[in-house]
A and B are shown apart, each in its own frame.
Chain A
Amino acid sequence: MAESAIASINFKAAALELLPEGANFEACLTCGLCSSGCPASGMENMDPRKFIRMALLGMDEELSTTPWIWCCTMCKRCQYVCPMSIDVSQLVFLARGNWPEDRKPAGIVRSCQLATSSDSTSAMGMPPADFVSVVEEVLEEVRATQPDFRHLQAPIDRRGAHFFVNQNSREPMNEPEEMVPLWKIFDVVGADWTYASKGWAAENFCMFSGNEDAWREVVRKRVDAVNQLGCEVWLNTECGHSYYSMWQGIERFGLEANFRLESIVTYYAQWIREGKLPVNSRWNTKGIKFTVQDPCMIVRKAYGDSIAEDMRFVVRTLVGEENFVDMQPNRSANYCCGGGGGFLQAGMTEHRRAYGKRKFDQIAATGAAYVLTPCHNCHSQMHDIGRFYGGHYGVVHLWTLICLSLGILGKNERIYLGPELRG
């Protein structure tokens, strides 16, 4: 079958329309800070500055068809370091949406299709009934095997709960025991929470595919689900782009959301400060070193440095001040790991790993044994590049370490811990 043609976008006109005055392509000083800090620089012979110049030089056909737009993870680091604050990612998004569906990376398209195909909005296509039964089964097993948690709760569709908690599909689909630490944390702090059978999933590959209609559809289902249950807070768990896609989706599509959006990371910090989560680093008797990965989607692209500080407070408390080593650069200036923007699902393994080399080097330079990150895509990518480049670090979620510190981490909840912490 013949490939569909990619129509040409007038990028200069589009930039004028999308970007604010003074931060438009017109304002580019061609200084190259964007490119020098972009892990996708050089791929497909492109970089952010070339993108801007090509737009201004009228090379619309070349820009419309370059596969580089699938190597750019739309992490916005280029905009962050740009003295004129020029945002290239919006034009990359436009270019992605302009590719015919049959030319886009199939993995991203499929994940979007699955998300729109059920009320779960799960990118792995897990239907509501399956999610409910997995949660119930896992809960039953914990109650039966872990006496301390024989009354553990994992409510579903509970009206009026304070928190509407979302869930990345990876856990219920592939590693259901990884859901348990979070439930235990909610139990310890006495949180008033619920899952929902509809709109519970976190992922949104429709955004990555540049498909605005589908992005809107997924966010709309989630917003409806939260509104219906009358929850006050939509609590984003340890997944980066779910927060960004929901927050930006609501803004972009003008959806009516009768609730606040919050990230679990800020609550971890709050609960620790309030004494509700009595964690400490006394377990770390061997002085195991940890670093953190700042997910672009919640740090640079959403909250800014405040959430990065919260995360560091949580991690320092968990592992001990002296055992925390920051990556350089970090916080809002951190590099994308290369798992964002749908890269993990794009089937461009070689490109993705080349992109991730910068992250690998950053991690290696810390000498840390573990990277903590509240993001599934970061998690998978750092895990993969660690193995590929021969690293020796582990990648773990914050919930794992919190439960470890509290002494409530079950034996089968330690799959991402090394032998020294398997207990």
Chain B
Amino acid sequence: MSANSSPTATTPEATTLETEVLIIGGGVTGAGIMRDLALRGIHSLLIDKRDLCAGASGGNHGLLHSGARYVSTDPDAATECRRENSLLKRLAPQCIETAGGLFVAVEGDDPEFAERFPALCQRAGIECEELSPGEARRLEPVLSEKLFKAYRVPDATIDPFHLAMLNVDHARLLNGSIYRPHTEVLGFEIAAGEIRAAICHDHLHQRQLTIRARQFVNAGGAWAMNIARLAACADVHLLYAKGTILVSNDRLAQRVINRLRPPGDGDILVPAGTVSLLGTTSTRVEDLEQVAPTAEEIDRNIREGAVMIPALAGARYIRAFSRVRPLLQTSGTTDRAATRGFALLDHASQGVSNFCTITGGKLTTFRLMAARTADLVARRLGNDQACVTATVPLPDDEASSWADPAAAPKRWHHDRDPDDMILCECEMVPQSAIEQVFANSPGIEKERTIDLIALRTRAGKGPCQGSFCGIRIGSYLYDQGYYRDATGLAHLRDFLDERFKGQRSVIWGPQAAQMELAEALHCGLLGLDTLKDE
């Protein structure tokens, strides 16, 4: 990596940082903006109060929509999805599995809607091929016998973590743009209609941080309205819809399977490497911070999903998660019908001239959202370089691929190095993965933690949900001297707490046995439940 060009940030120890553009929010959009700007030669600093994809970016199906999902409710969003889908398949194939998708109608679903579907797809330019029920069931034997209509569409899956990491990495390599996790905006210094600096709290070092920039971008996702208000901008209106998704122990279907009906609960099953994701529910919420799956949401997803795929009723689930989606507020519509489009607000009417907010939208259209935002920011900076993210492929990067489901076991098996001990047995993440991740995360030398690894590899995401790998990775970090005091234990506890949050709503059957074992290890053996905070 070469340190680069014009206004670069000062050393990490300084309490004031400088950059051209401060991007707030480390979701895929923020990461995409960072790369887009870097490709135009603009230096940026990306911050997140937690870490990459901590919000809706990391809490969705990982579905790269063909657009077919929205043909009835939001034709514009459908068309956008169709374009971005084919662009990303070409430009970021390393994050994508071209699994293909099926839309299936089962007894009780509206036959008229099913009949209209191909025409709706055609209008949005989306390929749609009808399959006989028999053919569909041959492709996906888990499908219900009560299937009466099936179409094939070019849905795919995309790994948001891998995607965000590659965007950040590319920006860093291009011009030394910097990503800082655990940095939260508390307020802005505004003078003469311009934001001068963002006042932040650095959660890692427990200190205040001032970040000076010429342009400020709010890519806060569900938090965008709150962040805009810190700059006295009252023109962001969001609704919050909580969605809950279940993760099965193994991959139940090869393709994305969508229920052929207007969007509803539990109507999509998406493969993610070695597991399947079932969801989602949609519930209006007010609170952004306290979102956890409820038993009722789990039941609803499984009940609905099992109509389409009966095996879902008896499948083993290892985890569930909930995130809040920001929906752009429009009057008189339901949340399901609310636009899945995005909004870019320049806040010119709010008395600040160097601040903008990008929110709404969806994972599939993140590149487009980043492009529109970067266009505005570049124009304001007097940079006339055009967006090139529609043509420049996303470079590959070995360290980031540890986030990819099923990549780790293949690499481990290929390398066949008995000295490279496996730390996470479920997902087969070896020691070398950890060292690669550290090497690829400059600026966090003091924070080589379990959480950092868990986010950037598959560790903790298998059936044991961190029971064993948490201890092994923790031990490894102690062995290597990254941890020297009780901090590692506290981190281990926090990591396991987080995994437990995901498990508590799906504890039955074999997963209940798994939890008993986890409790014996974590409380009985390590006494993490009695650990005192320093």
Contacts and interface: CB of A to CB of B under 8 A. Distances in A.
A304 B475 CA distance: 39
A83 B464 CA distance: 14
A333 to B, nearest CB: 20
A57 B513 contact: no
Interface in B323-367: none
A26 B249 contact: yes
B426 interface: yes
Interface string A10-38: 00100000000010001111111000000
A31 B468 contact: yes
Contacts of A49: 425
A31 B428 CA distance: 14
Given A28-B463, A29-B463, A62 B413 contact: yes
B316 interface: yes
B25 to A, nearest CB: 33
Nearest to B416: A45
Contacts of A56: 249-250, 274
Contact of A30 (B316, B413, B416, B426): B426
A30 B250 contact: no
Given A26-B316, A45-B416, A59 B463 contact: no
A30 B274 contact: no
A268 B462 CA distance: 50
Contacts of B514: 29
A50 interface: yes
> Can you list the 7 inter-chain pairs with the closest CB atoms, starting with the nearest?
A27-B510, A30-B464, A57-B274, A29-B514, A57-B409, A62-B413, A30-B426
25 contacts: A26-B249, A26-B250, A26-B510, A27-B316, A27-B510, A29-B463, A30-B425, A30-B464, A32-B425, A42-B418, A45-B413, A49-B425, A53-B462, A54-B409, A54-B428, A56-B250, A56-B274, A57-B274, A57-B406, A58-B274, A59-B409, A59-B410, A59-B413, A83-B517, A84-B510
A59 B273 CA distance: 12
B251 interface: yes
B321 to A, nearest CB: 20
Given A29-B517, A32-B468, A58 B251 contact: yes
Contacts of B409: 53-54, 57, 59
Interface string B417-458: 010001001111000000000000000000000000000000
A54 B406 CA distance: 10
Contact of A45 (B251, B418, B517): B418
A83 B513 contact: yes
A423 B513 CA distance: 58
Contacts of A57: 274, 406, 409, 427-428
B254 to A, nearest CB: 10
Nearest to A54: B409
Given A26-B249, A45-B418, 12 more contacts: A28-B463, A29-B514, A30-B464, A42-B418, A50-B425, A53-B425, A54-B413, A54-B428, A57-B428, A58-B274, A83-B513, A83-B517
Contacts of B428: 50, 53-54, 57
Interface string A178-211: 0000000000000000000000000000000000
A54 B425 CA distance: 10
B277 to A, nearest CB: 16
